[in-house]
Amino acid sequence: MAGSETVRTGTAPGPQIFDLDRCVHCGLCLNACPTYRELGLEMDSPRGRVYQMVKVAEGEMPIGPSYIKHLELCLACRACETACPSGVQYGRLIEAARAQIETVRRRSLPARLLRGFIFNRLLVSPRLLRLAGNLLWVYQASGMRALAESTGLLKSFGRLGRLAPLTPEAERPFFFDQIGKTFPAEGKRRYRVAFLAGCIANVCFARLNEATVRVLQKNGCDVVIPAGQGCCGALHVHSGMREEARRLARRNIDAIPAADFDAIITNAAGCGSTLKEYHELLADDSAYAARAAAFSRAVRDVTEFLASIELNRDMRPVRATVTYQDSCHLAHGQRVRLAPRRLLQAVPGLEFRQMPLSDLCCGSAGIYNVVQSDMAAAILAKKMESINGTGADIIATANPGCMLQLRAGAALYGQGRRVAHVVELLDEAYRREP
């Protein structure tokens, strides 16, 4: 922890003892943990972090710099949940621990201002996101970005310059203009679904959102993009800002009555995991608990939904080889693994090649690759070794954050392979000319 930070004394709610007691300290989670695989340190393993949480809960260990450091280094990828034979809900534990840390931690003034602007202003304001997107577009389209990269100017900005490869493209026209609209099914209507467009995705993954709508239309869906929706709160939850996440959850529940739709669709695995846990986030809110439970039951990842219905097979061939990287919050958080693979295998001409360790995190993890860039880079380097071994032309995944990380990896360690969302490949097959 930086020297400009302090930790206030006092107590605050944190992980519950009955959740912590599920861990029997067997160690079967260790090999599934990216940070333990990288460092080999017990305190940077799920078992070690649970041990530290227990000591804090029992009052035998303070919430100090060491504790914060080890918990911040966790990607919250939840691979340990898949490996755990005792059903430890590690995602719940790490989120509660980080929320507890935030109640006693005193960040520096610049850190508080930056954090407040990003989480409480930028992510929740379409107007600010649009403004930021236009500025980013000018930077990229004017050639300033290419000039800065070619001259090595970015290197003079130190760590900020090293993060430049992770900068997403601003995709104009932005998707904000589609919010509030309904897109009718092609052919016979079979389903009526709501689509959650996200926050940053409206600027940097506008084409992915459009492809998602088209693929759903091709499969007999009236696609409603409800007005009033916004950021799902996933980044807030992962960063310990639970009250802010609750406010965003209430807004989305108000905007999207679950009973009006056959499913609530998201194309972002990280968002979907949080959306499916709104019932836990608002369990103590008497006014929203029941509605949150209904909302969570209705949420489906787009790959999960498409694999559960009779898929429209009227596709043109896509002549390429593809491998699939499991998005952590889809594979481990939502336990959706087969659906994306089935969809890829349904595309004619597309040869699927299984990736070794495909469910090991790529290092994206929300904003982890920004705040823990060294560890994220080390994890990404090993991920690219697995990808390169497949010889695939395309790296498919199911989460925008993973796409950014894998694109950086393909540029640094690969052969410039294309990175695509599963639904983008379906859209290409549906739209391909004879």
Q: What does pLDDT average to over the chain?
A: 93
CB 215 within 8 A of CB 270: no
pLDDT value at 293 more than 90: yes
Number of folded domains that form the chain: 4
Instruction: Indicate if 360 and 425 belong to the same structural domain.
Output: yes
Instruction: Indicate if 153 and 224 belong to the same structural domain.
Output: no
- Count of CB atoms situated within 10 Å of the CB of 188: 6
Instruction: Indicate if 70 and 132 belong to the same structural domain.
Output: no
Retrieve residue 333's tokens.
């958080």
For residue 261, being part of any structural domain is answered with yes
pLDDT value at 418 more than 70: yes
Question: What percentage of the chain reaches a pLDDT higher than 90?
Answer: 85
Question: What percentage of the chain reaches a pLDDT higher than 70?
Answer: 94
Q: How far, in Å, CA of 63 to CA of 15, rounded? A: 13
Prior bond to 173 cis, omega within 30?
yes
For residue 289, being part of any structural domain is answered with yes
Closest CA to 305 of 216, 223, 376: 216
Instruction: Indicate if 16 and 86 belong to the same structural domain.
Output: yes
Instruction: Indicate if 62 and 75 belong to the same structural domain.
Output: yes
| End residue of a domain, out of 271, 289, 307 | 307
Retrieve residue 353's tokens.
């090649």
Q: How far, in Å, CA of 238 to CA of 367, rounded? A: 9
Retrieve residue 319's tokens.
């002549």
pLDDT value at 168 more than 90: no
DSSP letters of 278-293? HHHHTTT-TTTHHHHH
Instruction: Indicate if 291 and 388 belong to the same structural domain.
Output: no
Instruction: Indicate if 322 and 293 belong to the same structural domain.
Output: no
CB 14 within 8 A of CB 97: yes
- Which of 333 and 165 is assigned the larger pLDDT? 333
What's the average model confidence in pLDDT over 273-292? 97
Buried b or exposed e, range 63-98, using 16+ CB within 10 angstroms: beeebbebbebbbbbbbbbbbbeeebbbbbbbbbbb
- Which of 145 and 87 is assigned the larger pLDDT? 87
User: Which residues form the domain of 220?
Assistant: 175-307
Per the listing, tokens 């407040």 go with: 116
Instruction: Indicate if 186 and 302 belong to the same structural domain.
Output: yes
Instruction: Indicate if 280 and 180 belong to the same structural domain.
Output: yes
User: For residue 366, what are the contacts with CB-CB under 8 A and spacing of at least 6?
Assistant: 76, 234, 235, 238, 239, 270, 401
State the burial class of residue 257 (Cβ atoms within 10 Å of its Cβ: 0-12, 13-18, 19+): middle
CB 77 within 8 A of CB 328: yes
| End residue of a domain, out of 280, 307, 334 | 307
For residue 252, being part of any structural domain is answered with yes
Instruction: Indicate if 97 and 118 belong to the same structural domain.
Output: no
CATH number of the domain bearing residue 69 = 1.10.1060.10
What is residue 432's predicted lDDT score, i.e. its pLDDT? 74
Q: How far, in Å, CA of 387 to CA of 415, rounded? A: 11
pLDDT in tens, 360-402: 999 999 889 989 999 999 999 999 999 999 999 999 999 999 9
What is residue 256's predicted lDDT score, i.e. its pLDDT? 98
Band (3; pLDDT cuts 50, 70, 90): very low
pLDDT value at 7 more than 90: no
| End residue of a domain, out of 252, 284, 307 | 307
Does the pTM surpass 0.75? The reply is yes
Instruction: Indicate if 183 and 299 belong to the same structural domain.
Output: yes
For residue 1, being part of any structural domain is answered with no
CB 203 within 8 A of CB 127: no
Per the listing, tokens 């092609």 go with: 186
For residue 349, being part of any structural domain is answered with yes
pLDDT in tens, 222-263: 999 999 999 999 999 999 999 999 999 999 999 999 999 999
CATH number of the domain bearing residue 188 = 3.40.50
Instruction: Indicate if 184 and 270 belong to the same structural domain.
Output: yes
For residue 155, being part of any structural domain is answered with yes
pLDDT value at 433 more than 90: no
CB 255 within 8 A of CB 226: yes
397: which strand partners?
A: 421
What's the average model confidence in pLDDT over 310-326? 96
Q: How far, in Å, CA of 413 to CA of 362, rounded? A: 13
CB 353 within 8 A of CB 322: yes
The dihedral over CA atoms of 115, 121, 125, 129, expressed in degrees to the nearest 10, equals: -50
pLDDT in tens, 173-212: 999 999 999 999 999 999 999 999 999 999 999 999 999 9
224: which strand partners?
A: 182, 194
What is residue 363's predicted lDDT score, i.e. its pLDDT? 95
Distance from chain centroid for Cα 171:
19
CB 412 within 8 A of CB 369: no
What is residue 165's predicted lDDT score, i.e. its pLDDT? 74
182: which strand partners?
A: 224
CB 325 within 8 A of CB 398: no
Q: How far, in Å, CA of 202 to CA of 338, rounded? A: 28
- Count of CB atoms situated within 10 Å of the CB of 103: 15
Closest CA to 180 of 232, 126, 117: 126
